Chains A and B, each alone.
Chain A
Amino acid sequence: MNEMSLRRLLQPFKLFRNLTKKPMTLVFPQEALPPVDNYRGRQFLDPEKCVGCGMCSRVCPNDAVTMVEYMDKKCPEINLGKCCFCALCAENCPTGALYMTSEVFIAGYDKSFAVYGPEKLSKKEGA
């Protein structure tokens, strides 16, 4: 083995300098990365502002949004099991009644948990 390749063989040992650095990962349930401001988490509905135009339901690529009766008008019901979190519904809402929050802990134990009706959508911190 010539001198050059021996030097190349010893190169990876420079990696030991990483021992002085902080770990890249976090201990997840105790600590988590803070979400950014405009993160596309689950939707939030302000039923007062909603005019029931149905734009959110029409632009949804996955048919996750259906319009249901709520407070004497049509309001969106979102099936998060179908939602791809593209935020087209929130972006195209003419009154700004529907918008995205940075809430990402939305796992449940059965499929019906993923269906967010107008009432559940208008509550922050999940159901």
Chain B
Amino acid sequence: MTTDIPFFTIPFGPCHPSSGHFHASVTVDGERVVNLVPDPGYLHRGFEKLMEYRTYLQNSPLVDRICILDPFAAELGYVNAAEKVLEIEAPERGKFIRTIMAEFGRILSHITWIGVTCMVVGLDSGCKIAWGDREPIIRINEKVTGGRIYPCYFLPGGVRRDLPEGFTGMVEEALSGLEKNLEQYDFLVFNNETFRVRMEDIGFLDAEDAIRLGATGPNLRAAGVEADLRKDQPYEVYDQLEFNVVTQDKGDAFARDMCRRLEIEESMNIIRDAIHKLPEGDYKNKAFKPFSKAKKKETYFCCESARGEQCYHMVGDGTDKPYRVKVRGPSFSHTLDEFPYLAKKAYIADIPAIYWSLDPCPADVDR
């Protein structure tokens, strides 16, 4: 609808309840969005520079903070890159433990995302229930790693401590509880008419545009592209585990939501399979010492986080600190490239729904 009133620019964030410390200037013509200019930087903490001043051991607790909701994936990418520069190998059991915990991180991130998405479309029951359902998995994190949100658990060459006694029973209990919860999300959220009316047929992103704009993870798979680093270039022990890559065809906001919903089930299968195949033996490589020196080499490592590809370019210079680390966060392209593209011509009321269907993490964008 065109009116006589000139275009109007309104801010989205950084204190908007559904923006999550991210700011964008939205130019509107009536109810329609004409232009959206993202303005990141409210959560910039300078990780790449901080990592140059810390040893390979000290960087492990630091990278957790890159993305608060998915710290395991950030650690997994970091330790794998560091292992290549340090030229050490993690034992098989350590790799299995890392895989299991990384999948728990993915589940945790997706459940949090369900909660936030419900909140922004006005379905507050879903928000409260989802945040409550994180608790059994956070309890597992707590028992295994000693921390609830920030695990500080992976090290170059393995993990910091072995799995606690009774881990299998604890996991089975949490996963069977989660299965019941997923059923609850189905009738409360994903099959709920009010939720579907808000989410269906908005924010279309087809496969060609998704690849052009640098989409990765569930956002790319929801456009019908079967791309998952866990299958395409297996790291850790993903080549020994059986799982499917979840894809959707439609490419709208609801397809991206469904993709994440189905990925939770796939992650549960991976965890069960990995626990079944968990070998005995050492959980860390004792060759890694607090001040181990790296070789003069550089490496690039990518892993599949809950949001997409989490990559590290690391340069070792023969000392115990990295010379340069470049972090590629998955939310960067999702927020700065895809979000403005999808927001154009959308209704202003659909902006939070489109934004959260991309599952961005502003902390990951700014780093």
Residues of A whose CB lies within 8 Å of any CB of B are: 5-6, 8-9, 11-12, 14-15, 18, 24-25, 36, 38-40, 55, 58-61, 84-88, 91-92, 100
Contacts and interface: CB of A to CB of B under 8 A. Distances in A.
A88 B191 contact: no
Interface string B168-199: 00000000000000001001100111101000
Contacts of A86: 60-61, 150, 152
A84 B58 contact: no
B54 interface: yes
B160 interface: yes
Contacts of B132: 24-25
B62 interface: yes
B167 to A, nearest CB: 12
A30 B291 CA distance: 45
28 contacts: A5-B193, A11-B192, A11-B193, A12-B125, A12-B188, A12-B192, A14-B184, A14-B187, A14-B188, A15-B125, A15-B187, A36-B139, A36-B143, A38-B143, A38-B161, A38-B164, A39-B147, A40-B147, A59-B290, A61-B61, A61-B62, A84-B61, A86-B60, A88-B57, A88-B61, A88-B152, A88-B290, A92-B290
Contacts, number: 73
Contacts of B129: 18
Contact of B58 (A36, A61, A85, A91): A61
A40 B135 contact: no
A6 B191 CA distance: 11
Interface of B: 54-55, 57-62, 125, 129, 132, 135, 139, 142-143, 146-147, 150, 152, 160-161, 164, 184, 187-188, 191-194, 196, 290-291
Given A24-B132, A61-B54, A8 B192 contact: yes
- Which residue, of B54, B135, B139, B187, has the highest number of chain A Cβ atoms within 10 A? B187
A86 B129 CA distance: 30
A47 B160 CA distance: 25
B193 to A, nearest CB: 4
A87 B290 CA distance: 13
Closest 9 CB pairs of A and B: A86-B61, A61-B58, A24-B132, A8-B193, A11-B187, A40-B146, A9-B193, A86-B152, A36-B143
B129 to A, nearest CB: 8
Contacts of B161: 38
A87 B146 contact: yes
A91 B288 CA distance: 14
B61 A11 contact: no
A94 B61 CA distance: 20
A91 B196 CA distance: 50
B196 A88 contact: no
A88 B152 CA distance: 9
A53 B143 CA distance: 30
B62 A15 contact: no
Given A15-B125, A92-B290, A85 B187 contact: no
Nearest to A35: B142
Contacts of B61: 61, 84, 86, 88
A122 B59 CA distance: 28
Contact of B160 (A11, A12, A39, A91): A91
Nearest to A25: B132
Given A39-B146, A86-B61, 16 more contacts: A11-B192, A11-B193, A12-B125, A14-B184, A14-B187, A15-B188, A36-B143, A38-B146, A58-B291, A59-B55, A61-B62, A86-B152, A88-B57, A88-B58, A88-B61, A91-B160
